[in-house]
């Protein structure tokens, strides 16, 4: 296969080992911060789905279960919104403006928006929500509405049980906006099991609620693992969920939204009933052992997927160094990263190429750099 112009440009890019290590450390701190408490005094949730002909018909059972998780377990303020078939875009736009303004649009609040339904990509690469019912052409241009969340003072979490694609972020950023979608658009992908993403989301939220708090990186990590487990059972016919960082206050030092059961709940969440530990063996890192991470119950120990990267380094090294303590000494002042990075392979000729793997939860917060190439999960 003939290399593209992008390939030639990428081959010229190199990164220093120290710079790469700093990026790893920043990603680790996003998932495992020193301060593990949730920063939000209020969390508002909006669950949107298309209205049926009978407006009195209850919400889909999967959406109802998710509603109960947010309301009864997390004690969030939750509301549902049935998208009308007439003037759909106007209705969603007005609802989103009302939702963003709840609580005075304060930076101590978090807004969570969930959508379940069909979607497609317009000719200008914008995400369109569409009614899945035959004979209807109702649609919502979500990309335009998404901007309101990115520009809000509060942080925002977008959860989409539909296919999604990369979109341009707003130039005006006030807080952190993170997005998890059921899958990426792919011409070869088949229709997924209805509400499979919503089921996984509700299951993982229910399990993670037993922690004092948890990052969206942990949530995505677990949803990804649960989906991968199902994909392996179904011969790869489904697609893995995707994560998109729509906005960050500082891309060099990313921050992950953290969720926690709101204080004042009557039912106790004192001690977790699941094993809580760092993605690597607890007690082997310099990171505080405060319970802040929980693996999905859908995966077995040793079967947790990791994300592989190829890194073109400015530094010269001998391949033999990869199996010695010397490489770890190069990252010795970055304790949060040392235990998380695994050296898979190394090559040195005209330039140094390193193949490393990191946990899924860390990989999504690694800084973008042309010298760091994602190879996918392993």
Task: Summarize pLDDT for 298-323 with one digit per residue, the tens.
Answer: 887 667 889 999 999 887 766 666 55
Residues 219 and 254 in one domain: yes
The answer as to whether 279 is a domain residue is no
Domain-embedded: residue 210: yes
Helices 196-208/61-68 angle, 10° precision: 20
Angle (CA) 51-52-53 rounded to 5° is 125
pLDDT score, position 10: 79
Please tell me whether residues 192 and 161 are part of one structural domain. yes
Q: Which residue has the tokens 């890192």?
A: 285
With 80 as the cut, is the pLDDT of residue 347 above it?
yes
Residues 60 and 106 in one domain: yes
Alpha carbon 165 to its chain's center: 14
Phi/psi of residue 197, each to 5°?
Answer: -65, -40
Encoded tokens for 268: 């106790």
> Is the confidence at residue 79, as pLDDT, over 60?
yes
| Whole-number pLDDT of residue 350 | 72
- 104 and 139 co-located in one domain: yes
- Does the pLDDT of residue 275 top 50, yes or no? no
With tokens 């996984």, the residue in question is 200
Q: Which of 202, 237, 259 is the last residue before a domain boundary?
A: 259
Strand order in the sheet with 139-141: 118-121, 127-130, 139-141
d(CA 192, CA 307) in angstroms, rounded, equals 23
* Residues 6 or more apart in contact with residue 17 via CB below 8 angstroms: 313, 314, 315, 330, 331
The two structure tokens encoding residue 31: 């998932």
Band of the pLDDT at 74, cuts 50, 70, 90? very high
Answer whether residue 275 is part of any domain: no
CATH number of 209's domain: 3.40.50.1460
**145-164, pLDDT tens digit by residue?**
999 899 999 999 999 999 99
Task: Examine residue 191 and state whether it is found in any structural domain, yes or no.
Answer: yes
CA-wise closest residue to 319 among 300, 341, 345, 293: 345
Domain total for the chain? 2
Same domain (yes/no): 196, 313:
no
- The residue segments making up the domain with residue 317 are 5-32+305-377
Same domain, 242 and 339: no
Question: What are 8-39's pLDDT values in tens digits?
Answer: 887 889 998 888 888 888 898 898 887 777 88
Which pLDDT value is given to residue 84?
93
State phi, psi for 154 to the nearest 5 degrees. Answer: -80, 155
Within a domain: 246: yes
**297: in domain:** no
| 327, part of any domain | yes
**Domain limit, last residue, from 259, 291, 318:** 259
Residue 183 lies in a domain: yes
Domain final residue, candidates 259, 282, 317: 259
pLDDT, greater one: 315 or 226: 226
Answer with the residue of higher pLDDT: 303 or 333. Answer: 303
Top-confidence range, 43-57, 101-115, 281-295: 101-115
**pLDDT on residue 289:** 42
Same-domain status, 157 and 24: no
**In this structure, are 333 and 242 located in the same domain?**
no
pLDDT of residue 273 exceeding 80: no
- The answer to whether the beta carbons of residues 274 and 343 sit under 8 Å apart is no
Q: Mark whether 73 and 9 lie in a shared domain.
A: no
Is 241 in the same domain as 322?
Answer: no
Question: Residues 13, 65: one domain?
Answer: no
Q: Are residues 152 and 212 in the same domain?
A: yes
């Amino acid at each position: 296969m003939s290399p593209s112009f992008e390939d030639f440009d990428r081959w010229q890019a190199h990164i220093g080992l120290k710079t790469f290590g700093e990026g790893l450390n920043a990603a680790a701190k996003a998932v495992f911060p020193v301060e593990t408490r949730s920063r939000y005094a209020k969390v508002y949730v909006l669950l949107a789905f298309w209205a049926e002909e009978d407006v009195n018909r209850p919400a889909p059972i999967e959406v109802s279960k998710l509603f109960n998780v947010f309301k009864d377990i997390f004690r969030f303020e939750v509301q549902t919104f049935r998208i009308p078939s007439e003037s759909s875009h106007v209705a969603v736009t007005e609802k989103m403006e009302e939702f963003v303004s709840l609580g005075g649009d304060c930076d101590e609040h978090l807004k969570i928006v969930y959508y379940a339904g069909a979607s497609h990509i317009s000719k200008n690469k914008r995400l369109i929500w569409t009614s899945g019912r035959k004979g209807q052409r109702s649609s919502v241009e979500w990309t335009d509405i998404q901007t309101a969340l990115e520009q809000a003072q509060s942080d925002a979490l977008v959860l989409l049980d539909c296919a999604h694609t990369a979109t341009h972020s707003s130039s005006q950023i006030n807080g952190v906006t993170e997005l998890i979608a059921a899958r990426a658009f792919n011409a070869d992908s088949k229709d997924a099991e209805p509400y499979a993403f919503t089921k996984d989301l509700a299951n993982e939220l229910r399990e993670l609620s037993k922690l004092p708090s948890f990052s969206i990186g942990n949530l995505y990590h677990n949803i990804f693992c649960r989906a991968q487990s199902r994909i392996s059972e179904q011969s790869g016919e489904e697609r893995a969920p995707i994560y998109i960082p729509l906005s960050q206050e500082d891309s060099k030092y990313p921050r992950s939204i953290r969720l926690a059961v709101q204080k004042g709940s009557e039912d106790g969440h004192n001690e977790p009933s699941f094993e809580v530990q760092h993605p690597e063996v607890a007690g082997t890192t310099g990171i505080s052992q405060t319970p802040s991470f929980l693996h999905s119950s859908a995966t077995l120990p040793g079967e947790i997927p990791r994300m592989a990267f190829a890194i073109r380094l400015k530094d010269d090294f001998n391949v033999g160094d990869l199996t010695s303590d010397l490489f770890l000494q190069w990252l010795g002042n970055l304790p949060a990263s040392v235990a998380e990075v695994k050296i898979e392979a190394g090559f040195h000729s005209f330039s140094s190429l390193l193949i490393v793997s990191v946990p899924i939860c860390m990989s999504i917060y690694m800084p973008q750099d042309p010298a760091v190439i994602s190879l996918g999960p392993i």
